[in-house]
Amino acid sequence: MTKTSAIISKVWSYAHVLRDAGVGYGDYLEQLTYLLFLKMADEYSKPPYDRKLPIPEKYEWENLISKNGADLESHYTELLRELSQAKGILGQIFTKSQNKIQDPAMLYRVINMIDKENWSLMGADVKGKIYEGLLEKNAEDVKSGAGQYFTPRSLIMAMVECIHPEPEKTICDPACGTGGFFLASYDFISNPENYRLNKEQKQFLKDETFSGNEIVAGARRMCLMNMFLHNIGEIDGESYVSSTDSLISDPGDRYDYVLTNPPFGKKSSMSFTNEEGDQEKEELVYNRQDFWASTSNKQLNFLQHIHTILKIDGQAAVVLPDNVLFEGGSGEIVRKKMLETTDLHTILRLPTGVFYKQGVKANVLFFDNKPASKDPWTKEVWIYDFRTNVHFTLKKNPLKLEDLKDFISCYNPENRHERKETWSEDNPNGRLRKFTYEEIVSRDKTNLDIFWVKDESLADLDNLPDPDILANEIIENVEAGLESFREIVETINGG
């Protein structure tokens, strides 16, 4: 067994022990984040680094490992409370931190495990692999609800491969979750098979490429740690992940690329206490000068925000639910404006069973921003149907990058202007088909929810998919239907 796999299995064995004691993956992951950060800060304060970090002496690693029993638990609890008040990246890592490992003996064992390793000497890929593995396990844990912050890594990698980000350009994710798009972009740009980076380009990639927003403290903490373990940014630097709601206003900054999967859930709302002391919800409508339509639909707001923050000729790849493609009213206004002001060149229809949150039917929209023009920029929309007759499940048959290779090949990242349709009169089930601007705007409500591949399960009852796949698809459809009903009820009740 290699040293790397030995550490990974040790980290995992503790996860299982703690889980049996009632500490979930999410809570374990948070405690690991705090402790790893403190241990690495300690390592960086010694030769050859000799960097003084803003951690008060009382809360340094040496003090923590010298304690045990009730003494350890009270010291650790105090440490978390005090460091949550710190400024910069330190405060963001420890925001709202609490000790979730109540058994001092178990806490001591975890601290001891971390203390035995020299983490700063480990390769970024090793540290990253350990942490990413835990993030994925946490996303799989239905009760934790963390799945909504985790986009399947195979899908992220395919999106990055299609966008083909270049060195010394900026990348933004306005809903960055645990940082998956940042890491995949970092891996792509730093891969010698794609680019040979000089010293300046490496520096830019580490310190200036990435910016994002994440309003959920736990997800933001994991994103910062994930980035730091992958050697992005500095332990004592300023945070490049803002805790503000990215939809509140135009930040003024413009980016070369936006890669994102905005949070699921259609409505933006805020809770408040009314005069009777009861909790009420109010739809949140963002009134922004730069938006084409004022709406409480979170997804449409994100799409408009992304258009705003893209540089002229900036590129975007965004995961969005089906309703963005067909909804009337504000949805139609936004679609029309997108077709006019950007080159909305590609839509990837995603299969069900790939997200950790069920009931999500989604697509990836690829578009390039463009300067003002009297003629619409979108001439053709190429749609790749990766949904009809495609079946995945999270456990038995998860989505792999290999499954998206045909789409990447059809997308043709080297020169998408030379791509070829696989659909034709002779091959009516070809998955890539283009539609002209005129064809789309002539459709009712400028509907972009277009499909043509024949559903085999309707025609061939003798060769149905496996029962577990069928059961999962039924759950997906029921969940999606329930979500729509909930929104209707909320609208009727005015909450």
Q: Where are the domains of the chain?
A: 3-134, 136-488
Which three-class secondary structure state does DSSP give residue 190?
Answer: helix
User: Do 330 and 275 meet the contact criterion of CB atoms below 8 Å apart?
Assistant: no
Vertex 130 angle, CA 129 and 131, to 5°: 95
CA 343 – CA 340 distance, rounded (Å): 8
Work out the mean pLDDT of the chain and round it to a whole number: 86
Residue type, 362: A
Instruction: Just give the CATH number of 136-488.
Output: 3.40.50.150
Q: What phi-psi label fits residue 409: left (phi over 0), alpha (psi between -120 and 50 degrees) or beta?
A: alpha
Q: Work out the widest C-alpha separation in the chain, in whole angstroms.
A: 76
Residue type, 215: I
pLDDT for res 464: 63
Question: Residue 305: how many CA atoms within 13 Å on its side-chain side?
Answer: 27
The 3-class secondary structure across 374-410, one letter per residue, is: CCCCCCEEEEEECCCCCCCCCCCCCCCHHHHHHHHHH
Question: Quick one: pLDDT band at residue 280, thresholds 50, 70, 90?
Answer: very low
CA 370 – CA 387 distance, rounded (Å): 30
Strand (E) positions, 231-309? 241-242, 255-260, 269-273, 279-283
Radius of gyration of the chain (CA): 24
DSSP structural state of residue 17: H
User: Do 473 and 351 meet the contact criterion of CB atoms below 8 Å apart?
Assistant: no
CA 150 – CA 138 distance, rounded (Å): 9
Q: Is residue 465 over pLDDT 80?
A: no
Q: Is residue 145 over pLDDT 90?
A: no
Question: Quick one: pLDDT band at residue 359, thresholds 50, 70, 90?
Answer: low
Residue type, 472: N
Q: What phi-psi label fits residue 295: left (phi over 0), alpha (psi between -120 and 50 degrees) or beta?
A: beta
**Residue 392 CB: number of other CB atoms within 10 A?**
20
Give me 280's structure tokens: 């009420």
**Residue of 133 and 480 predicted with greater confidence:** 133
Cross-strand partners of 211 = 172
Residues 6+ apart with CB under 8 A from 111: 35, 64, 65, 72
Share of the chain above pLDDT 90, in %: 55
pLDDT for res 480: 66
CA 437 – CA 441 distance, rounded (Å): 6
pLDDT for res 269: 47
pLDDT for res 270: 46
Which three-class secondary structure state does DSSP give residue 118?
Answer: coil
**Residues 187-244 pLDDT 10s:** 999 999 999 999 999 999 999 999 999 998 888 998 998 888 888 888 777 788 999 9
**Residue 49 CB: number of other CB atoms within 10 A?**
12
Q: Which residue has the tokens 């004022």?
A: 294
CA 297 – CA 285 distance, rounded (Å): 8
pLDDT for res 469: 65
pLDDT for res 11: 81
User: Do 184 and 152 meet the contact criterion of CB atoms below 8 Å apart?
Assistant: no
Segment 148-174 shows an average pLDDT of: 93
CA 233 – CA 224 distance, rounded (Å): 9
**3-134 CATH fold:** Ferritin (1.20.1260)
pTM score, two decimals? 0.85
**Residue of 86 and 342 predicted with greater confidence:** 342
pLDDT for res 291: 96
**Residues 15-42 pLDDT 10s:** 878 887 888 888 888 898 899 889 988 9
Segment 465-486 shows an average pLDDT of: 69
Segment 304-333 shows an average pLDDT of: 96
CA 406 – CA 386 distance, rounded (Å): 10
**Residue 197 CB: number of other CB atoms within 10 A?**
17
Segment 332-354 shows an average pLDDT of: 95
